[in-house]
Amino acid sequence: MKKNSAFVIITILLILCIIFALTTGQYHIRLDTLWKVVSLKFSGKTPTDDLATPSMVLWSVRMPRVLMAVLVGAALSVGGVVFQGIMRNPLVSPSFLGVNHGAIFGASLSIIFFSKSAFSIESFAFFWAVAAVVLVYLIGNRGVNTITTLVIAGVIVSTFFMAAGSFLKYIADPYEELPAIVYWTMGGLNNILWANVRRASVIIGIGITAIYIFRWRLNLMAIGDEEAMSMGVNVNRSRIIYMLFSTLIVAAGSSSCGIIMWVDLIVAHISRMVVGSDHDVLIPFAAILGAAFLLFTDTIVRILPGGEIPISIITSFIGAPLLGYLLMKQNNEWKG
């Protein structure tokens, strides 16, 4: 009952965040106007003259951005929960395995040597984010009880890509390329188009669906390799599957929107506190909460006086103190 109520509340919260995000901004759209524009779209009619502007704002600017925030919020959060589960550590996030530094390196490569187009940056960031995790797996996978070696390999690969990224920044043109890299690194959804949404939704959709299907076995992975093996889990194969799909969804999010910090960690923690550790419930809950959290944060970023600021600044300002507060509230164990 408690978990059902939590799902109802979080789903209502997400719907409210979506309505808030679609109606709020420099161009305000009234609720009844929103309803009319959406109804016209789904009935296939052309909007009347008075609805032309809100329709254009809604379908060309806000809707792709809102959908992307929902997708990326869900992807980062689910990725966080999965990585914490397979690493058996509530303080691990995909960035521990080099996803972020790989993505930054890839984006920097594209900006300096190839193209500043969104598609090119996105593709390079995605490729190198996945490559970083593959490298971590190749270095760190040592069969049974491999978690520590994976984390150490993550530190090694992250540090390497961080150094490589710093080198690229050092040689970048300080007037055009360097600001582009720095701005991309801070993350944001301000340049999102339908094309970005289409690309990301395919990868994130497939990844989250696969993780959702196999979500319950994460429980076994989360209690230990030997335990999971004793109960019939092929640990190595399962770890590859979970790491693959969670890396793909996080890389798809990061490559589209830059590095958005803290969403994975903070949403995973809050979700565990609300619905417990059972991944059967935790995965869908974290997806909805993550979508609502990122969408709300992005809307705040959009409407702040003085113009839009990179979203990671806000997620970090919210995430770091909140996680500190939650940690201080814990005793010796992580409550579920």
Partner 1 sequence: MQNNNILAVENINFRYRQKKILDDVCFSIHRGDICGLLGPNGSGKTTLLKCINRILNNENGSIRINGRDIAGLSRAEIAGLIAVVPQELNIMFPFTVLQMVLMGGNRRFGFSGIPGRKDCSDAMETLEELNIDNLAERRYNQLSGGEKQMALIARALFQRAEIMLLDEPISHLDFKRQYTIMELIKKITADKDLTTVITLHDPNIAGRYCNRLIMLNDGRIVHQGLRNNIFHAESLEGIYDMKIKIEYTNTGMEYVLPHHIQ
Binding site for partner 1 (CB under 8 A): 85, 88-90, 144, 213-217, 219-220, 222-224, 226-227, 229-235, 272, 276-278, 280, 333-336
Strands, E assignment, 102-201:
none
Contact 63, 192 (CB under 8 A): no
Q: With contact defined as beta carbons under 8 Å apart, do 28 and 306 qualify?
A: no
Long-range contacts of the stretch 193-196 (C-beta < 8 A, 24+): 193/64, 193/118, 194/64, 195/118, 195/119, 196/64, 196/68, 196/118, 196/122, 196/256
Q: How far is the CB of 330 from partner 1 (least distance, A)?
A: 11
Q: Contact, 94 vs 80, CB < 8 A?
A: yes
Instruction: Report d(CA 40, CA 45) in Å as an integer.
Output: 5
Compute the least distance from the CB of residue 86 to partner 1, in Å. Answer: 12
Closer residue to partner 1, CB minimum distance, 127 or 334: 334
- Give the integer Cα–Cα distance in Å for 330 and 336: 11
Please report how close the Cβ of residue 265 comes to partner 1 at its closest, in angstroms. Answer: 15
Closest CA to 97 of 140, 145, 142: 140
Other beta carbons within 10 Å of 226: 11
Least distance (Å) from partner 1 to the CB of residue 78?
Answer: 16
Select from 209, 37, 196 the least CA-distant residue to 122: 196
CB of 109 to partner 1, least distance (A): 37
User: Min. distance of Cβ 267 from partner 1 in angstroms?
Assistant: 16
Tell me whether residue 33 or residue 236 sits nearer to partner 1 (CB atom): 236
Q: Nearest approach, Cβ of 98 to partner 1 (angstroms)?
A: 22
Q: Are 103 and 254 in contact (CB under 8 A)?
A: yes
Q: Which residues contact 102 (CB under 8 A, 6 or more apart)?
A: 128, 129, 130, 131, 132, 133, 157, 161, 251
Nearest Cα neighbor of 10 from 319, 292, 212 is: 292
Considering beta carbons, is residue 280 or 308 the nearer one to partner 1? Answer: 280
Q: Which is nearer to partner 1, 87 or 288 (CB)?
A: 87
Q: Which is nearer to partner 1, 89 or 190 (CB)?
A: 89
**Contact call for residues 324 and 262 (beta carbons, < 8 A):** no
Nearest distance from residue 261's CB to partner 1, in Å? 23
- Tell me if 63 sits within 8 A of 37, measured CB to CB: no
Q: Which is nearer to partner 1, 77 or 185 (CB)?
A: 77
In the bound state with partner 1, the residue whose beta carbon lies nearer, of 157 and 281, is 281
Question: Residue 190 or residue 219: which is nearer to partner 1 going by CB?
Answer: 219
Q: Is the Cβ–Cβ distance between 78 and 246 less than 8 Å?
A: yes
Nearer to partner 1, 278 or 308 (CB): 278
